[in-house]
Amino acid sequence: MLVIASQSDIGTLTPGVSESAADSYVMGMINYPLVDSGFDCSLKKLPGIATDWSWNEDGTVLSMTLRDDITFSDGHPLTAEDIAFTYDVVRDPIVASPRVSYVERMVEGKDPLVIDDTHIEWHFTQAYDRDTQMAHASAVPIMPKHIMESADRASLRGHDYSRNPMSTGPWKLASHDPNVRVVMEPNENFTGPAEDQTKLKRVVFQILPEYNTRLLKLESGEVDLMESILVSDADELRKNHPEINLVQRGYRSNDYVGWNMQKPMFQDVRVRRALAHATNVEDIMSKLLTGEDGTAYARRSVSTITPELCGVHNDDITPLAFNQEEARRLFAEAGWTDSNNDGILDKDGQDFEFTLTTNTGNKRRAQAAVFIQSHLAEVGVKVNIEQLESNTFFENLRLKNYEAALAGWSAGLFVDPSTIWHSDVTCEEGDADCTPRKYEFNFVSYSNPRADELMDRGLNTPIPEEAAPIWQELQQVIYEDQPYMFLWWQNEIVGVHERFQNTEIDVLSPYGHLEHWSVPTDQVKY
């Protein structure tokens, strides 16, 4: 058995509407992938349900051959019809899927086109980057059409399927005690390849919102794996717990402060840039993300495109420097001054005061919030800190029910910034050529026509070398607008007990392909 210390509980396990990292990890265990992944500067495509694939000459049609032996856990075969049904759900505006951008460049009704049970074609409106095309066509876990066809699409997030999902992968959801534990066991009805049969007998996600509790349980041996270990704690673990292997994942996770631009005080770019100048990000990194030997476990971020995507990340952007005088100048230019000498900036009778919300259980963010609060106070900005349970926090982001949020992303390893940055698309009545789109992950309500244009052009550029400068310009445009105060990419540290073998801890996952993990017989603990 593997016991994982998990910061947050699962929210929904219904494909197409899931949102959190906890959801994604569990869904990755119970759903056999349409196309599996490896990574080396870019995603590598490996067989899954699809055994082989090819593009037509102009790159607008992706043809796939599917395995004929994968079944849902009730014995019903997984066929091309289930894949087509899943993507029809994603496309449906009633669903408000956060992954609706995946189908934007697919031809409706041919996303995919079912040829027969084991052959499908994905028809695209035009060719674009093939890694991104493949990810769009394969990144959504497959729903059972025979179970979900009659479901009310307006309430999929709360559907009973989320609590009792069918499994096509090597694992199944054995039990879920909300806010306590999620228990995964081998799917005895798994019909996939023999090499993907589980070696472990059980995986338990213990829901432990408090960071210190997770750490203590790792040290005591009550849990076997913990993500996002603070640098200072990693230093201590190396000294006192040599049985715990510490693995660096690479730059997959970032932290940022998102400004809700529906709030008037954050609508002026001068204010957002002033807030960035007033925050000493380098100082926070030196205190929270640097080891006692001087090793840096983070780098400044300037975009949501990870530096791991070689040649795509814009390395030429210079982060805004800590400069309190420049911050005060920009605030004053935007009309924010301390007119009554009480130490807080004000404008038209309103103090510059806001609540910075973050999620409980993330000690790094909790500490960073205090530093940010202190830095901004020095230039006359009053920050109140609020911590919320993770699922509530992320739901508030989606609903834009917040002022400012200290949050983060586990970055996509294919290039599609539109899910986070594209403006919502509305249609005028009678415009038959328009498809409305709501980008659920654009938490800050960012909207810039130039950014939209670059995203549309980049996604429609099939040759990666030609798309790269478009993505680099996009990063520059967004950074100039400062819809986020971009903080850092952290080289996340994962601790796992040394008895586990065949582990996969890398930029793809903190616990990838758990079906391959094993423990030697003479080291079995449970």
pLDDT score for 422:
95
Q: How confident is the model at residue 357 (pLDDT cuts 50, 70, 90)?
A: very high
Which among 16, 4, 15 has a CA at the least distance from the CA of 184? 4
Domain 2-178+500-516 has CATH 3.40.640.10: no
pLDDT score for 144:
96
| Res 473 pLDDT > 90 | yes
| Res 486 pLDDT > 90 | yes
Average pLDDT over residues 34-62: 92
Per residue, the 3-state secondary structure of 286-326, as one string, reads: HHHCECCCCCECEEECCCCCCCCCCCCCCCCCCCCCCCHHH
Q: Which part of the chain has CATH 3.40.190.10? A: 2-178+500-516
Token pair of 223 as six digits: 């849990």
pLDDT score for 145:
96
Query: Please, which residues bridge with residue 50 across strands?
Result: 66
Instruction: Report how far apart the first and last C-alpha atoms of the chain are (Å, whole number).
Output: 7
How many whole angstroms from its chain centre is CA 526?
A: 32
Question: What is the four-CA torsion angle of 359, 364, 366, 368, rounded to 10 degrees?
Answer: -120
Q: How confident is the model at residue 98 (pLDDT cuts 50, 70, 90)?
A: confident
Q: What is the pLDDT of residues 401-431, one digit of tens each?
A: 999 999 999 888 888 899 899 998 888 777 7
pLDDT score for 44:
86
Average pLDDT over residues 106-129: 94
Token pair of 285 as six digits: 């990194």
Per residue, the 3-state secondary structure of 477-523, as one string, reads: HHHHHCCEEEEEEEEEEEEEECCCECCCCCCCCCCCCHHHCECCHHH
User: Comparing 161-170, 399-408, 471-480, which segment has the lowest mean pLDDT?
Assistant: 161-170
pLDDT score for 472:
97
Mean pLDDT of the chain: 93
Burial of 191 (0-12, 13-18, 19+ CB in 10 A): middle
Q: How many Cβ atoms from other residues are within 10 Å of residue 28's Cβ?
A: 19
pLDDT score for 17:
85
In the chain, % helix, strand, coil (3-state, to 5) comes to 30, 25, 45
Is residue 27 within 8 Å of 78, Cβ to Cβ?
no
How many whole angstroms from its chain centre is CA 335?
A: 36
pLDDT score for 505:
94
| Res 129 pLDDT > 90 | no
CATH number corresponding to 251-490: 3.10.105.10
Tell me the pairing of strands 484-497 and 244-259. antiparallel
| Res 323 pLDDT > 90 | yes
Q: How confident is the model at residue 226 (pLDDT cuts 50, 70, 90)?
A: very high
Is residue 517 within 8 Å of 501, Cβ to Cβ?
yes
pLDDT score for 354:
98
pLDDT score for 128:
87
Q: Which long-range contacts (CB under 8 A, 24 or more apart) does 235-240 make?
A: 235/291, 235/292, 235/293, 237/495
| Res 494 pLDDT > 90 | yes
Query: Is the sign of the CA dihedral 509, 513, 516, 518 positive or negative?
Result: positive
Average pLDDT over residues 96-100: 87
Q: Which part of the chain has CATH 3.10.105.10? A: 251-490
Burial of 325 (0-12, 13-18, 19+ CB in 10 A): exposed
Average pLDDT over residues 45-50: 95
pLDDT score for 414:
83
pTM for the whole structure: 0.77
Average pLDDT over residues 113-121: 97
Amino acid at 258: G
Amino acid at 41: C
| Res 19 pLDDT > 80 | no
Q: What is the pLDDT of residues 256-290, one digit of tens each?
A: 999 999 999 999 999 999 999 999 999 999 999 99
